Structure 1
Amino acid sequence: MTRPGRTRARRPSAGVRCLILTAVAAALAVALVTAPSEAAHTTPRTGFEAAAGARWTTPGEERSLLAAADRHSGRVGVDRIGTTGQGRPLRLVRIGGGRPAALTVLLVCSQHGDEPAGREACLTTIRDLAYATDPATLAFLSRTEILVLPTANPDGLAAGTRGNADGLDVNRDHIALRTAEARALAAVIRDRTPEVIEDLHEYSATPPYYDRDLYALWPRNLNADERVHDASERLVERYVRPAVLDAGFSSGRYGVWTDPLTGGPLKQTAGDGQERILRNTTALKHAVGLLVESRADALSEAERADPAVGRRRRVRSQRAALTALFSYADEERDRIRAATERSRAAGFADRGPVFLGGADNEAAGPEEILDPPPCGYRLTAERYAGARDELALHGVTSRPDGDGVYVTLRQSARRLIPLLLDRRATYHLTNGQPDTAC
C-alpha cells in the first residue's frame, strides 16, 4: 500500500526488532502492577495500577500524579493549555529537553473519551520518565523533549463518550477547530513544532477479519512531504509493529481487514487520507506521525470473566508501541530532523500540485488535483473575520489586501492552505477567491 514507485519497507532484521531491549527501552518498560496488595512503591502509582486494572485512573488521581512528578523532578513541567466546554483543564506535560537542539515528541492520549487505555499508558510513561535515574534514560531525556497531553478529551472521559461535551468528535476537528480541545492542541503544534506525534486510540474488533491486539498507521494524505511520509511509514513498519509483535501481541495496519486463512488484505474500511484527522494533520504540519489503536474487546474467557485482565493487556500493548516510538526517536533523530526541516521549507519553493482528495494508496481524481494550484487566496474582511483565529492557530499568515487580506501559498503551510480556503476542499473553513495570476 505504498505510493506508486516506492519501495516497501522490509521486515526488519532481528537486530532491529530487538530495539526495545536497549537500555532506554528497558527503563521505560515498567511492568503493570498485577495485585493491589503488593508492597508500596517508592514512586507514585496510577489509580489503574493500584486497582490492578479493576478501574481506570480518576481525574483526581491523574492530577495528583502529575503534581507529584512536577514536584519530584526539575525536568518535568505541567501547564494548563486550555479549558473544556464544561470547565475542565487541558494539561500538557513537558519532560526532558535539556539541550537547545532537543528533538520534540508529542503524545496525544485518548482524544475519544471512551478509549482510556492510551491515557493510562501515557500516565505511567510520564511517571516512569519523571522518576528515572539510570544514565541511558537521563541521556535520552537530555536530547529529547517529551510532550504529553494525557487526557485530550476530559469531558468525554468523565461522560464515557467518544465525543466532547458538545457531542463533537475531537479527532474530526483538526481543520475546522470548533472544539476547545482541538484548538488547544493546534496551538501546541504551532508553538512547540514537534517533530514526532503519536495519537493513541482504541477500537472495536470484527473477528475474524479485524481483531489484532494493536493496529498502527502512518499519515496517508497525499499532501504530506515525501520524506515525512516515508519516515512515518518507517516508524510504523520498522519499529512499532515489530516491537508489538516481539512483546507478544498481534499487530496489523489500521483499517485493513485481512483474510484469516492467508493473512492477505481483503478490504480497507478506515485509515484514509482525510485531512481533518490528527494522523493526517500531523504530516500537513511537518511532523512524522502515527496512529495506534489497541483492541478494546475481550480476547479470551479470562478477559470476559475478569475485565481487569483485558484492561491490563490493552495498556501493555500501548506501552509496547510507546517504547518503540522512543527507540525510533532516539536512533533516527537525524533522519527525522532532516525530513521535518525539508517539509517546513518546501512551501516557500512554491512547487508541485496540491491534492483535495486521495491517499497514498488511492489516486486522487482529476477534479481533486490543483495543478498548478493558485498563487494564493483573497478573503473579504467578513470572511477573514470568520476564519482569522483558526488560520492563526494553523500557523497561516496573511497580509492586508484592500478591504480584506491575501493569503499567499508561498509559506510553510502551502499544502494546507487550499484545504482551508478552497471551496472545492471537503472541510474548508471559508471560501477564498483563488488568485491564478502568478
Structure 2
Amino acid sequence: MIRRSRSLALGALAVALTATLAATLPASPADATGSRPPRTGFEESHGARWTTQPEEQRLLAAVDRAGPRAEVDRIGTTEQGRPVQLVRLGAPAPEKARDVRRGNSVLLICSQHGDEPSGREACLSTVRDLAFAEDRATERFLQRTSVLVVPTANPDGRAADTRGNSDGVDINRDHLALKTAEGRAMAAVIRDYRPDTIYDLHEYGPTVPYYMKDLLSLWPRNLNTADAVHREATSLSEDFVEPAVHRAGFSTGVYGIWTDPETGEPLKQVAGDGQERILRNTAGVKGSVGLLVETRVDALTDAERADPARNNRRRVTSQLAALDGAFSFLDRHRGRVEAATTAARLAGYADRGPVYLGGADNDPATDAQTLADPPCAYRLDATQFAQVKDELALHGVNWRKLGSGAVVPLRQPLRGLVPLLLDERADYHLTVAAHMNGCRGVVGGNP
C-alpha cells in the first residue's frame, strides 16, 4: 500500500498545515516499492494552476483502483457532456445507500460555483488521502463514518471559470426547483444516502474593512430546521471549524455578517438568510446538519500579490484546516449527530407544529410567513402532477395517486419541505397546489 502525507488523529484529518504563507505543499512519501499516490495538478504545480478536468479524472481513476475503501460513480452529466461524480469512501466503501444509513455519514459538495476552485482542490486531496492511508486511525474512522464527496459539483462552470453552469444558472439556487442536471444529481444523492452532515465548500470576495476574515462559515438559518440539527450545525461551525482554522493561523467569521473592525461587533447582514433553495438551508430542512464554508480569494500581502501561487496555496490550506475541524466534529459528535438527524426525520410523521415560509434563525417569521395550522395534505391535479412529479421524486417526497392527480401528505419525513414546494405563499414554490383538510386515510408512500 502507498502511504499518504496526512493522517487521522482522533478520527480527524490532521492536516500538515503551516502558519507561513510561503509554506510548500508536502510531497507524498513513497512506499517500499517506490510508488507514490496520485497528485493533483495543483500540487504538481505548487499552486501555480488549478487541477484540470483530465487530471481530476486520472486521480479519481487511481482512487477507484486503490482498493476496497473507495468507489467512484457517475451520478449525472452536464449540458456540455462532462461527468458529475460521487466518491464513496469507507472501510470498506459503502456499496449501497442502506450501508451508509447504518452509520454516521458526511457529504462534501465541492465547487458548486465554478470560479471558486480552492474547495475542489481540498476535496480532491482529501479523497486521495483517505483512499491511500495506511494508519489505523484512518481505518477506524472510515469503519464508522461513510464519506461521500462530489469533487466538482459544477464541471462546466469550473472549465469556464464561471460562477454559474454552462447555462449561466447558479446551482446553489437550484436545490429546490432542480432544473439543472447538477442540482438534480446532488438531490438524488441526498435522497438516496440521507447524509447526516452536508458540508459545502465555497470562496468569497471581501469588503474591507468590514468583511475580510480568512474563512467564513454559516449553518442552516431556515426555521424549518429541527432544533437539535440546528444546534449541531452551529457547533460544527463554532466549536470545531473555527478553532481548527485558528490553530492553522487564520481568522474566522460568520458568512454574510459585516463586523466592526475595532470591536468585532456585527454591523450589518449582507447575505446568508434562510432561503430554502440554498444548499445549507435545503440540508437543514431535509434533516441534515448543513454548513457553508467560504475562504477569502483576494491576495492578503505584497508577497501574495507578487506570486498568485502563494495566494492559491493559502486559500487551499485554509479549506483544509476547516475540513480538519469538520472531521473532528464527525468523530466526536457522532452519536449526537445521528440522534439529531434521525429525530428530525421521524418528527414529520407526527405532523405537528407550524411550517415557516420565510424568516430565519436571526429574523423571526411574520404571521404571513407562518403556516400555524398547515393543511394535512396538498392536492395536485393531473397537469400539476405531471409538471412536478420528477422533482418530488428527486427530493424523496411521498405522494399517493388520486384519480389522474396526486395527494402529497404532510405526514412524512420531509414535512417541512412539502409546503415550500407546493404552497402558494412559499417564495419558490414549484406549483400552487390545493389545500386538503380531513385527510383520514391519506398516507405517504409512492406507488
Q: How high is the TM-score relative to the length of structure 1?
A: 0.92
Q: Which amino acid aligns with 2:9?
A: T
CA shift, 1:113, in A, is 0.2
Q: Which amino acid aligns with 2:48?
A: A
Give the structure 1 partner of residue 72 of structure 2. Answer: 78
CA shift, 1:80, in A, is 0.3
- The gaps in structure 2 that reach 5 residues or longer are 1-6, 31-35, 440-447
Secondary structure of the 2:12 match is helix
Q: 2:44 aligns with which of 36, 41, 50?
A: 50
Equivalent-residue separation in structure 2 for 1:56 and 1:84 (angstroms): 20
Equivalent-residue separation in structure 1 for 2:238 and 2:24 (angstroms): 34
Question: Aligned runs of 1:261-300 on 2, under 5 Å?
Answer: 261-300=262-301
Encode CA deviations 1:139-193: one digit per residue, 9 max, x unaligned: 0011111000000000000111000011000000000000000000000000011
- The gaps in structure 1 that reach 5 residues or longer are 1-19
Q: Which amino acid aligns with 1:114?
A: D
Encode CA deviations 1:275-307: one digit per residue, 9 max, x unaligned: 000010001111111000000111111111001
Give the structure 2 partner of residue 355 of structure 1. Answer: 356
Give the structure 2 partner of residue 8 of structure 1. Answer: none
Question: Aligned runs of 1:372-387 on 2, under 5 Å?
Answer: 372-387=373-388
Question: Aligned runs of 1:1-80 on 2, under 5 Å?
Answer: 22-25=9-12, 27-29=14-16, 42-80=36-74
Q: Which amino acid aligns with 1:45?
A: R
Equivalent-residue separation in structure 2 for 1:29 and 1:72 (angstroms): 23
Q: Does the CA contact (< 8 Å) of 1:53 and 1:309 recur in 2?
A: yes
Give the structure 2 partner of residue 309 of structure 1. Answer: 310
CA shift, 1:242, in A, is 1.2
Give the structure 1 partner of residue 426 of structure 2. Answer: 425
Q: Which amino acid aligns with 2:430?
A: L
Give the structure 1 partner of residue 198 of structure 2. Answer: 197
Change (3 A) 1:280 1:339: same
CA shift, 1:314, in A, is 0.4
Equivalent-residue separation in structure 1 for 2:256 and 2:248 (angstroms): 22
Give the structure 2 partner of residue 135 of structure 1. Answer: 136
Equivalent-residue separation in structure 2 for 1:156 and 1:423 (angstroms): 33
Equivalent-residue separation in structure 1 for 2:298 and 2:360 (angstroms): 29
Give the structure 1 partner of residue 3 of structure 2. Answer: none
The more displaced of 139-148 and 65-74 is: 65-74
Q: Which amino acid aligns with 1:294?
A: T
Give the structure 2 partner of residue 10 of structure 1. Answer: none
Give the structure 1 partner of residue 172 of structure 2. Answer: 171
Percent identity for Structure 1 against Structure 2: 60
Equivalent-residue separation in structure 1 for 2:211 and 2:256 (angstroms): 8
Give the structure 2 partner of residue 15 of structure 1. Answer: none
Q: How high is the TM-score relative to the length of structure 2?
A: 0.91
Q: Does the CA contact (< 8 Å) of 1:27 and 1:137 recur in 2?
A: no
1:226 paired with 2:227, answer: yes
Question: Aligned runs of 1:298-337 on 2, under 5 Å?
Answer: 298-337=299-338
Q: Which amino acid aligns with 1:25?
A: A
Encode CA deviations 1:61-112: one digit per residue, 9 max, x unaligned: 1011111111122110000000001000001001115485331110000100
TM-align CA RMSD: 1.9
CA shift, 1:253, in A, is 0.5
Question: Aligned runs of 1:228-247 on 2, under 5 Å?
Answer: 228-247=229-248
Question: Aligned runs of 1:94-105 on 2, under 5 Å?
Answer: 94-98=88-92, 100=99, 101-105=102-106
Secondary structure of the 2:195 match is coil
